Amino acid sequence: MGAYVNPIYPYKGPADLMSNPPQRKALIVIGAGPVGLAAAIDARLQGLDVLVLDDDKTVSVGSRAVCYAKRSLEILDRLGIAEQACDMGVSWNIGRTFLEEAEVYQFNLVPDAGHKRPGMINLQQYHVEEMLIARALALGADIRWQHKVTAVTPSADHATLTVETPDGTFDIEADWLVVADGARSPVRRHLGLDIEGRVFQDRFLIADVIMKADYPAERWFWFDPPFHPNQSVLLHKQSNNVWRIDFQLGWDADPEEEKKPEKVIPRLQAMLGDDRPFELEWVSIYTFQCRRMTDFRHGRVLFVGDAAHQVSPFGARGANSGFQDADDLMWKLALVIKGQASEKLLDTYAHDRQFAADENIMNSTRSTDFITPKSRTSKTFRNQVLALAKHYPFARKLVNSGRLSVPSFLTGSVLNTPDADAFEGNMVPGAPMDDAPVQVAGQDAWLLDQVGKGFQILWFVDAPPSPAQLAQLADVGVQADCARPGAGAHAQPLKPTILIVAPRLLSIPGMDVIVDTQGLVAKRYDATPGTTYLLRPDQHVVARWRSLNANAVQAALARATGLNVGGHMGQA
């Protein structure tokens, strides 16, 4: 067994980026972490040139973001690395919570069958970053290592960056700037932008331990275990026989002392037993906070991931919510850059993802307050819940060892068209789509692999539609009253593609039919023949109807792209 060795990525000098006056790029991303790389990959998939600047020359150290939720895996499927990540990572659905040595609660992240991806995989962040870097480079992203952004000067129609490299400092301009430079965000600090919230007074020790163990691939969380009394412990299995163990230490713990091997090893031996061989790969001490920027958009500068918001690690909401930020932002930014939407559309990125951040912060704060109660009242509540959970099922649901990351339902987005018809189930306007098994062209497939490719119409039928109906849908499209500079009088009109779902294979000239082999698509979308859904490029429902009405689809598409929505485009 041996510790992971970080790759070193080659430095490329900035000679081709230096000019006077400064060069102008359509899109620059600051930060080659998971979220910045996801944004860059998405940009390339949508045909945008992208320059990525990072002040380092390697991937992150230590496991860091280790849990990747089902929704993130579905986003990574669209970006092209989920299969690789799932093959290397440890898939799991079951979590168990213990008081001392007795199990008091367990949960299943995916209780229903018929989903392509598991509820969660555990995979060290450095492995995910390597996969994202390879994918971004393969798609033609321009990643510049050891290019440190030292200043950003916003203007009305661009931002000017000052970049420091081993070969000198230069200025460069960006029509649009995506900031993904992490929780300490030098850009956010340089611009003097606020970030507000709560810092929790507790310390935790992370130990990445290389060992062979036959523990199941589950999340285990202990309150007051005999090997670490009066505190909590979290155990996760990762790839390559690496186990992530988090020990609660308390606020008075000395971070430098607690990181020393002579302090860490006895804690691990008490937990694992003196006779189990192990090797320390990485040790860190962390405190945590729940806070966010007031506004994620500042003109042409857009903040994503930890640069925009931070949560405690309980619940795995950091990287997972960051991927959803990029997923929401990049289709909107692509439409703006291509002249197919007004930049007002980007206001909805800020408002919708600020709503999601507030939801994550609320859940993360509740988990943290339960795990590390700081008031007498909250500690009394926590201890009584744990005591009752030993004997009474109702109390087990109150045990909060970290409500795990789930995607936000953006039901308040102004891009949604409210229901005019009655529907059951979860697929409301604003909902992230549910997956289901299907067949396409005679091959087994998954519903979510067919969507996320621009705006799409999902139309349920039980018989071949008429040529007149198909012609109506073919005419659906919108023309933005704007165009990017140099694009001519008008950009290309935006037209959704049509996906037909049927319970059996139908012959429809010029159309592929998605066959709902198990009836799960119709069940999860409460669909009957004629039901029509309009889908956003990020696999969220934006509108739905019980019968096809091309005029209604046209109006909903215009609304979903920022047309027909006046003023400041925030929450409805």
CA torsion 145→146→150→156, rounded to 10°? -20
Residue 379 scores a pLDDT above 70: yes
Least confident of 203-212, 245-254, 386-395, 520-529: 386-395
Within a domain: 547: yes
The 3-class SS string of 298-357 reads ECCEEECHHHCEECCCCCCCHHHHHHHHHHHHHHHHHHHHCCCCCCCHHHHHHHHHHHHH
Q: Are residues 86 and 216 in the same domain?
A: yes
Beta bridge partners of 444: 439
Name the token pair of 467: 């040529």
Mean pLDDT along residues 153-173 = 98
Number of domains in the chain: 2
pLDDT band of 521, cuts 50, 70, 90: very high
**Shared-domain flag, residues 298 and 165:** yes
* pLDDT over threshold 80, residue 313: no
| Residues 283 and 147 occupy one common structural domain | yes
- Residue 132 near residue 41 (C-beta atoms within 8 A): yes
For 180-217, how does the pLDDT look when each residue is reduced to its tens digit (9 = 90+)?
A: 999 999 999 999 998 988 877 788 999 999 999 989 99
441, 353: one domain: no
Do 95 and 404 touch, CB atoms closer than 8 A? yes
Q: What is the pLDDT of residues 85-127, one digit of tens each?
A: 999 999 998 999 998 888 888 888 887 889 999 989 999 999 9
| DSSP result, 395-447 | HHTT--S-PPP-----TTBTTPPPPSS---SS--TTPBPPP-EEEETTEEEEG
360 pLDDT band (50/70/90 cuts)? confident
Q: How far apart are CA 173 and CA 163, in angstroms?
A: 11
Helices 318-337 + 345-371 axis angle, to 10: 180
Res 487: pLDDT? 46
Neighbours of 140 (CB within 10 A): 10
User: What CATH number has the domain bearing residue 295?
Assistant: 3.50.50.60
Residues 121 and 244 in one domain: yes
For residue 65, being part of any structural domain is answered with yes
Tell me what pLDDT residue 570 has.
59
Q: What is the mean pLDDT of residues 399-418?
A: 88
- Give a yes or no: residue 402 inside a domain: no
| 305 lies in the same domain as 162 | yes
Assigned domain for 425 exists: no
Q: Are residues 467 and 328 in the same domain?
A: no
Find the mean pLDDT for residues 472-486.
71
pLDDT at 488: 41
pLDDT category at 568 given cuts 50, 70, 90 is low
Within-domain flag for 37: yes
Question: 456 and 307, same structural domain?
Answer: no
- The CATH number of the domain holding residue 508 is 3.40.30.10
Strand, helix or coil at 107? strand
- CA angle 330/333/337 to nearest 5° reads 135
Residue of 297, 303, 304, 326 lying closest to 38 (CA atoms): 326
Q: Verify that 343 and 450 share a domain, yes or no.
A: no
Please give the model's pTM, rounded to 2 decimal places: 0.94
Choose the weakest-confidence range: 94-103, 243-252, 368-377: 368-377
Position 275 confidence tier, pLDDT thresholds 50, 70, 90: confident
Q: What percent of the chain is modeled with pLDDT above 70? A: 95
Determine the Cα–Cα distance for residues 123 and 64; give it in Å rounded to an integer. Answer: 10
Least confident of 134-138, 163-167, 460-464, 508-512: 508-512
**Is residue 172 in some structural domain?**
yes
Residue 467 is assigned to a structural domain of this protein:
yes
Residue at which a domain ends, from 333, 357, 381:
357
Sign of CA dihedral 384, 387, 393, 398: positive
Give the domain-ending residue among 294, 326, 357: 357
Query: Residue 561 gets which letter from DSSP?
Result: T
State the SS3 of 170-190: EEEEEEEEEECCCCCCHHHHH
Strands 24-30, 51-53: pairing kind: parallel
How does pLDDT run across 481-519, given as a tens digit for each residue?
654 444 444 578 899 999 999 999 999 988 889 999 999
pLDDT the model gives residue 485: 47
Hey, how many other C-beta atoms are within 10 angstroms of the C-beta on 436? 24
For 553, the domain range is 437-560
Please indicate, yes or no, whether residues 178 and 319 belong to a single structural domain of this protein.
Answer: yes
Mean residue pLDDT of the chain comes to 92
Given pLDDT bands bounded at 50, 70 and 90, which one contains residue 315?
Answer: low
269 and 133 share one domain: yes
Query: Is the confidence at residue 2, as pLDDT, over 60?
Result: no
Whether the pLDDT of residue 566 is over 60: the answer is no
Domain end among 312, 334, 357: 357
Q: C-alpha distances in angstroms, 563 versus 115, 211, 416, 480?
A: 34, 56, 12, 7
From its phi and psi, is residue 562 left (phi > 0), alpha (psi between -120 and 50) or beta? left
Asked if residue 398 is part of any domain, the answer here is no
Q: Are residues 135 and 242 in the same domain?
A: yes
